């Protein structure tokens, strides 16, 4: 009886949702799954709604990446994980971010849920970016550089400790940091802090 019930519940829609794993409403609709079906699955407990328009299947294989994928789904293909969340990812800070920090274009002015900390940047979001499956994150060098640029939001000491930690643990080099600063056209901001950053 149980097998028959399981077979009955295993519809093409459930197979599609399981394959999508972590997705937007629009992704499901493109695959032929209606909003009503999504709502029914949420009500049945076979699907989780993470936030408006974003869903998670319980069998998703990359649960450790959900926070990052969810943020990039929310903010679009040009957004990237940054700020304290990037520092935590690269293990150069002891601070545990209570929000997911995301870098977006300076032209974006939308309001977002409190679970996100949005930093609007003028710097090219194609420079010093690491691409992963379904999500993007700033390089460690870029995270450090923008921490100094936006030190009023992140904290100067937080930026300095992260930079010194990254250098001492050989996660970056002085050359890679300087090169990234040049690529982002931020060398003046880093130059004035260079002695403090590189002092051992």
pTM for the predicted model, two decimal places: 0.88
SS3 annotation, 52-119: CCEEECCCCCCHHHHHHHHHHHHHCCCCEECHHHHHHHCCCCCCCCCCEEEEEECCCCCCCCCCEEEE
Domain that holds residue 154: 65-198
Residues 79 and 13 in one domain: no
Residues 45-90 have pLDDT tens digits of: 999 999 999 999 999 999 999 999 999 999 999 999 999 999 999 9
Residues 27 and 72 in one domain: no
Residues 167 and 88 in one domain: yes
């Amino acid at each position: 009886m149980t097998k028959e019930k399981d077979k009955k519940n295993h519809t093409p829609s459930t197979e599609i949702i399981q394959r999508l794993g972590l997705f937007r409403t629009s992704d499901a609709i493109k695959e032929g799954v209606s909003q009503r079906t999504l709502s029914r699955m949420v009500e049945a407990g076979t699907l989780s709604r993470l936030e408006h328009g974003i869903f998670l299947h319980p069998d998703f294989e990359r649960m450790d990446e959900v926070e990052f994928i969810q943020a990039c789904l929310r903010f679009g293909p040009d957004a990237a994980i940054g700020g304290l969340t990037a520092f935590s990812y690269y293990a150069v800070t002891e601070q545990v971010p209570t929000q997911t920090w995301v870098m977006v274009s300076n032209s974006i002015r939308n309001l977002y849920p409190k679970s996100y900390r949005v930093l609007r940047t003028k710097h090219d979001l194609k420079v010093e970016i690491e691409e992963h499956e379904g999500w993007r994150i700033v390089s460690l060098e870029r995270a450090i550089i923008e921490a100094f640029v936006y030190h009023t939001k992140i904290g100067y000491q937080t930026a300095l400790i992260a930079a010194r930690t990254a250098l001492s643990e050989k996660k970056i080099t002085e050359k890679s940091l300087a090169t990234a600063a040049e690529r982002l056209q931020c060398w003046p901001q880093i130059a004035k802090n260079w002695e403090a950053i590189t002092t051992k």
